[in-house]
A and B are shown apart, each in its own frame.
Chain A
C-alpha cells in the first residue's frame, strides 16, 4: 500500500531514498500497573536537508518518538531506519539537543563541552579544538569559549548545545523542544538563528514542538500527531513560511488549518499555541 498517495501527484520524478524512515512505529511504555501506548503505527520519511517537525499536543508521543530515533527507547513494533539501517542504540550519528539546560556538563567550559563528544569519538585534540572554535564562532559564542555553563544565559546554553551537536556533523540533528525553556523573545531570536544556520550549513533535523507557530517558522515539513495515543493526522508543507511572514494571511490560514486538524472545529483559544498539560506523564528512557 502506498502510504503517501499524494506525493506521486505532487512530484513527477521519483523521490530519493529517505535519510530516516519510520514504518508503523508503535511505542509502549510502562506506567504504574500496565503499559500505555505512546504512539500508534506512525509512519513518516525524513529526507536529506529536511527541517522535519513533529507537532502535536501533550500526549501525542512526539518526544517519545524522538527518543526512539535517538535510540533511547525501543519501539514495540514497526521499524526506524537511518540510511536503511535499523536504529538499535544511541549513537553519535544522531545528536540530540535537549530542552533541559543541564545537558551541558557544568564541569566543562563552553569549549570543552563542544569538544567533549568529538574527543569521545576519537577525534584528535587539536582538530577537536579547531572544530569547536569554528562552531562556537558560528553560533556567536567564540568570546565565551572559556566560560563555565553556569555563567551563561538560557539562550547561550541552547546555542552551546547546538554548536556541540553540529560540530559532530551528525546525519540528523534531533531537537527535543530545544527552545521550550526560553523566554518568548529569546525563543524568536533562536528560531531566526537556527534558520540562518540551516541556510548556511545545510543540516537535516527532526524538531519536536507543541507550538504551531514555531513549527511553521522552523520547519519545511510538519507531521501532525493526535494525542492518546499518538497517531498521524496529516503531513503538511511549511517551507514557504518564516518569522518574517508570521503575520501574513497565508500563515494565519495555515495555523488555523493545523488547529482544525488537531482539535476539530472549535475556535482557537490562544493564538497559535497548543494547550500543554503540565507534565502529564513523564516519558523517559
Chain B
C-alpha cells in the first residue's frame, strides 16, 4: 500500500481585482489607546499603590505602636506638614544639588574613560581593569577614605557619588560602543568621518540605548549612595540633606517623619524614572525603533 495521497485536481480561476475601500481596513488602534477591557497603565498602578497603602494602614493599626510603625495616614500627614512648612523641600534641594554635581562629574569621567577606551588599546585595558576593580566596591566603603581626603561636607559626598556613577556608566557605554554594527562604522568611514566626529555622529547615537541604561543605573546608584552617605555624616556638613533629615528625625523619635523622608526618596526616584528618563527614551531610542 502506498502512503502517498494524491491531492484532488481542481479547476483554476482568475478574478478581476476587487476595488478596495479604506473603510474595510481594520482600524489601526490609536497610539496610547488602551486595550479594551483594561484600565490605563497609570490607573492600574495607582490602584495597586492604594491597595498597598491600605495594607500598610491596617498593619500599623493592628500593631498599634506609633514609635515602631506609624500608619500610612500619619506618614502622609507628616509628609504634607513637611512640605507645607518648607522643611522637606529644603532638605530635598540640598540633596539634589549635591547629587547633580556628583552625577554630572561622574558622567563626564565615564565619557572621558570610554573615549579613551575607544581610541586606544591601552585605554581599553585601563577601562576594563578599573571597572573590574572598582565597580564591585560599594561607594559607602570609600567614605572613610573620602573623609580623610576631603573632610566632612560636600567634597566627600561628591567623591563617593562620582565613584558610584562612573563605573557602571562607563561599563555600559563601552559595551554599547562595542556593539555598534560594523556596517554602520564602515558607512561612517566611507563618508570620511573619523576621530571625534565619528564618536559624536555615529558611535554615541548608535550606543544610546546602552548609554541611557547606564545613566539610569548610575542615577539609582547615586541616589542611594547619597542618602546612605548623608545618614552617616551629613550631620556635620552644616546644611543637611534628605538623609540627614531621616537620621535626625529618628534621633528625635519622630518615626512618622522618618517614614515621610523615606517616602520622599521613593517619590523622587519614581519621578525621575517615569518622567525624566521615560521622556528622553520616548523622544530618542523608542522613536527610532532601537528599543521597544
Contact = CB atoms under 8 A, between A and B. Distances in A.
A121 B287 contact: no
Interface string B173-196: 000000001111011011111000
Given A105-B205, A107-B205, A148-B287, A98 B187 contact: yes
Contacts of A116: 191
A148 B286 CA distance: 11
A9 interface: no
Interface in A72-108: 72, 89-92, 94-96, 98, 100, 102-103, 105-107
A152 B258 CA distance: 54
Interface in B230-260: none
Contacts of A98: 183, 186-187
A100 B183 contact: yes
Contact of A150 (B183, B187, B192, B289): B289
Contacts, number: 67
Contacts of A72: 186, 189
B202 A105 contact: yes
Interface string A176-215: 0000000000000000000000000000000000000000
Contacts of A102: 181, 183-184
Interface residues of A, number: 27
A31 B255 CA distance: 67
A285 B290 CA distance: 25
Given A117-B191, A120-B201, A121-B191, A106 B289 contact: yes
Contacts of B288: 106-107, 148, 150
A105 B205 CA distance: 9
A72 B187 CA distance: 10
Given A90-B192, A92-B191, A117-B191, A103 B184 contact: yes
B74 interface: no
B284 interface: yes
Contacts of B78: none
B121 to A, nearest CB: 16
B105 interface: no
Contacts of B186: 70, 72, 90, 96, 98, 285
Contacts of A105: 184, 187, 202, 205-206
B265 interface: no
B190 to A, nearest CB: 5
Contacts of A285: 182, 186
Interface in B261-292: 284, 287-290
A284 B190 contact: no
A20 B16 CA distance: 51
B208 interface: yes
Nearest to A285: B186
A103 B206 CA distance: 11
Interface in A89-146: 89-92, 94-96, 98, 100, 102-103, 105-107, 116-117, 120-121
A117 B202 CA distance: 12
8 contacts: A96-B190, A98-B187, A102-B184, A103-B187, A106-B288, A107-B290, A116-B191, A120-B197
Given A102-B181, A106-B289, 8 more contacts: A92-B191, A92-B192, A103-B183, A107-B206, A107-B290, A120-B193, A120-B201, A284-B182
**Which 5 A-B residue pairings sit nearest by Cβ, starting from the closest?**
A150-B289, A117-B191, A100-B183, A90-B189, A102-B181
